[in-house]
Amino acid sequence: MNFYHYYDRRSGPFASLSDLPLEEAQGVLERIKRERPHSQCAQRHEKYVEYRRNCEAILLGEFRKKGGVIQRTPPYYMTVEHSPWLSTWFEDCGMVVIPAEAFNLHTLSFTYGDSMPAFSPKIQDGKEYRRKLYTYEEILPVIHRYGLPQNWNDDGSQGPERYIEVQIWSGETIRQYL
Share of the chain above pLDDT 90, in %: 65
64's enclosing H/E stretch is: helix 48-65
- 152 alpha carbon, distance to own chain's centre: 19
| pLDDT band for position 32 (cuts 50, 70, 90) | low
Least Cα distance to 66 among 106, 111, 105, 104 occurs for 106
Burial 144-166 (b: 16+ CB within 10 A, else e): eebebbbeebbeeeeebbbbbbb
pLDDT digit string, tens, across residues 121-161: 889 899 999 999 999 999 999 999 999 999 999 999 999 99
- pTM, entire model: 0.89
Task: State the Rg of the chain over Cα.
Answer: 16
Give 79-91 pLDDT, tens digit per residue: 999 999 988 888 8
- Over residues 7-18, the pLDDT tens digits come to 988 888 998 878
**Is 168:100 a contact under the CB 8 Å cutoff?**
no
pLDDT digits (tens, 9 = 90+) for 35-56: 766 656 656 657 766 788 899 9
